[in-house]
């Protein structure tokens, strides 16, 4: 074992003071950061009152909204008349059309009506004096002959009794609302109803084979229009899903993102040369332009959209202008920083030959800065496709406004799902195209 004497120890300490004489920050910096993070986390929990927020949140709505994304419901309404007969009504604009007769609503010989909500395991039988709800392996009668509905026997956990109403929750299959003179059933189906043809279409409720047969070789439904053209028109002008309007608004969003990014890059490019200290040796001009870029970036795109919709009215012009202003600031800063980090030797070499300033920039600067410009511009273009959707919600046009309108009704969640899926597909395609174009222009391998 080697023994180190005091002199040798002092020599080692003098040679490596950073290990033997560490400051307080070096010794306890990591611990202090951890403590500060924990304290901030506790403060955030207290400030936002997270326990109360979590306790009072309507978590059940998550399942309801998600189920409505992938399904639709039909709501037959059974009215018990004074003479004991039962009248069946359907809401206006029912997915089944104006005068539906679904096979899951059966008229019984005794005058009652049975609704199969989910096969035989969940059903509702409505008569003039009693409604029987079958679910979860039991049948629960509800008398409706008195002044208020009355559950016969013990009330199951899936049934809620109010003063003048009894609500039976049948899970994803639907629910039943029972009052003295009215029984309303909500039956849920997977899928999107009438996605291609609405209830007013000539092809509504026809099997797929019949529709294809009419389009390919069937007699014309309208003498002055082919069946193929008629089918396309009725899909495009579907009153429930509004495909034509949705796709038009989606195209507007794409155009807004492209036009705003293109104009922003064209404006930022020459300004970046004036803002770069090593290109333009005018400190005042450099600082003015950099602060101008900071100003344009500091005002969020959403705020610019609000300003411009006030100035020009709602529409794609306001959206394109908001993206243009934001991208001028963002790309101007990125371009100027890229210019300030170039290698000056090629530039000085070309300048020493007596070349003009334009040629110096073309051959001494551009080959170095082009990869930065291409990469950043394509990334911002891809990002602005998503941003254009958000600013559309404040009136800047595009599919964002359409999406916001569907969400505000709180009833068209399947339409919301349709538009969200379209947006995701467009973002995915633009991401792939942006990456491929970036690698192709920069001469790198994308794998």
Residue 297's CATH number: 1.10.3720.10
Structure-token match 């600031």, residue found:
329
Closest C-alpha among 333, 331, 360, 334 to residue 347 = 360
CB within 8 Å of 435: residues ≥ 6 apart:
446
The helix (run of H) or strand (run of E) holding residue 431 is helix 413-442
Residues 266/328, Cβ–Cβ less than 8 Å: no
Closest C-alpha among 209, 214, 237, 210 to residue 227 = 214
Q: Residues 86-135: pLDDT tens digits? A: 999 998 888 888 888 898 999 999 889 999 998 878 999 999 889 999 99
State whether 376 and 354 are in the same domain: yes
Poorest-pLDDT segment among 110-124, 307-321, 344-358: 344-358
CA 358 to each of CA 101, 179, 353, 355: distance values in angstroms, whole numbers, following the listed order = 78, 84, 13, 8
Where does 96-151 show beta strands of DSSP type E? 105-107, 113-118, 122-126, 130-135, 138-143, 150-151
Residue 237 inside a domain? The answer is no
Q: Residues 126-160: pLDDT tens digits? A: 998 899 999 988 999 999 887 788 999 899 999 99
State whether 39 and 109 are in the same domain: no
Q: Residues 406-445: pLDDT tens digits? A: 888 777 889 999 999 999 998 888 888 888 887 777 666 5
State whether 295 and 268 are in the same domain: yes
What span, in angstroms and rounded, lies between the C-alpha atoms of 214 and 112? 40
Tell me if residue 439 falls in helix, strand or coil. helix
Residue 298 inside a domain? The answer is yes
State the chain's maximal CA–CA distance in angstroms.
114
Residue 253 inside a domain? The answer is yes
Residues 280/272, Cβ–Cβ less than 8 Å: no
Residue 326 inside a domain? The answer is yes
State whether 104 and 208 are in the same domain: no
Residue 27 inside a domain? The answer is yes
Residue 310 inside a domain? The answer is yes
Q: Residues 242-285: pLDDT tens digits? A: 999 999 999 999 999 999 999 999 999 999 999 988 888 888 99
State whether 33 and 127 are in the same domain: no
| 256 backbone dihedrals φ, ψ, rounded to 5° | -60, -45
Residue 401 inside a domain? The answer is yes
State whether 391 and 333 are in the same domain: yes
CB within 8 Å of 125: residues ≥ 6 apart:
108, 112, 113, 114, 115, 131, 132, 134
Domain that holds residue 206: 194-230
Q: Residue 348 CB: number of other CB atoms within 10 A?
A: 11
State whether 143 and 87 are in the same domain: yes
State whether 415 and 309 are in the same domain: yes
Q: For residue 38, what pLDDT is reported?
A: 95
DSSP-derived pairing of the beta strands 150-151 and 105-107:
unpaired
Domain count within the chain: 4
Q: For residue 421, what pLDDT is reported?
A: 93
State whether 264 and 313 are in the same domain: yes
The structure tokens listed for 277 are: 């200290």
Residue 12 inside a domain? The answer is no
Rg (CA), the chain: 34
């Amino acid at each position: 074992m080697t023994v180190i004497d005091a002199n040798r120890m002092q020599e080692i300490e003098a040679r490596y003071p950073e290990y033997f004489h560490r400051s307080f920050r070096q010794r306890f910096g990591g611990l202090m950061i951890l403590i500060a993070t924990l304290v901030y986390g506790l403060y955030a929990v207290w400030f936002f009152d997270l326990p109360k927020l979590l306790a009072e949140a309507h978590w059940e709505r998550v399942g309801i909204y998600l189920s409505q994304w992938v399904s639709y419901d039909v709501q037959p309404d059974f009215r018990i008349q004074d003479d004991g007969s039962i009248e069946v009504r359907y809401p206006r604009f029912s997915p089944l059309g104006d005068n539906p007769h679904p096979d899951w609503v059966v008229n019984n010989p005794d005058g009652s009506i049975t609704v199969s909500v989910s096969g035989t395991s969940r059903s509702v039988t409505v008569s003039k004096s009693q409604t029987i709800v079958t679910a979860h392996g039991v049948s629960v009668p509800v008398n409706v002959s008195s002044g208020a509905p009355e559950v016969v026997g013990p009330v199951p956990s899936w049934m809620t009794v109010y003063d003048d109403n009894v609500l039976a929750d049948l899970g994803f299959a639907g629910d039943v609302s029972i009052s003295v003179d009215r029984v309303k059933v909500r039956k849920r189906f997977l899928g999107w109803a009438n996605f291609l043809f609405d209830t007013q279409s000539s092809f509504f409720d026809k099997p797929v084979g019949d529709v294809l047969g009419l389009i390919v070789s069937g007699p014309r439904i309208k003498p002055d229009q082919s069946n193929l053209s008629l089918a396309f028109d009725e899909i495009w002008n579907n009153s429930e899903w509004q495909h034509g309007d949705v796709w038009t608004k989606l195209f507007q969003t794409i155009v807004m993102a492209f036009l705003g990014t293109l104009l922003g890059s064209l404006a930022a490019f020459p300004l970046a040369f004036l803002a770069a200290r090593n290109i333009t040796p005018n400190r005042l001009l450099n600082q003015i332009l950099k602060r101008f870029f900071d100003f344009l970036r500091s005002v969020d795109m959403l705020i610019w959209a609000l300003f411009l919709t006030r100035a020009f009215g709602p529409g794609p012009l306001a959206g394109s202008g908001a993206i243009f202003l934001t991208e001028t600031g963002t790309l101007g800063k990125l371009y100027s920083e890229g210019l300030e980090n170039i290698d000056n030797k090629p530039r000085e070499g070309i300048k020493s030959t007596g070349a003009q300033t334009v040629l110096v920039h073309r051959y001494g600067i551009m080959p170095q800065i082009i990869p930065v410009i291409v990469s950043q511009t394509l990334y911002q273009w891809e990002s602005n496709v998503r941003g254009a959707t958000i600013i559309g919600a404040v009136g800047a046009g595009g599919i964002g406004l359409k999406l916001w309108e569907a969400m505000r009704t709180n009833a068209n969640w399947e339409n919301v799902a349709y538009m969200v899926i379209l947006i995701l597909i467009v973002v995915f395609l633009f991401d792939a195209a942006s990456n491929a174009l970036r690698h192709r222009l920069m001469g790198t391998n994308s794998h």
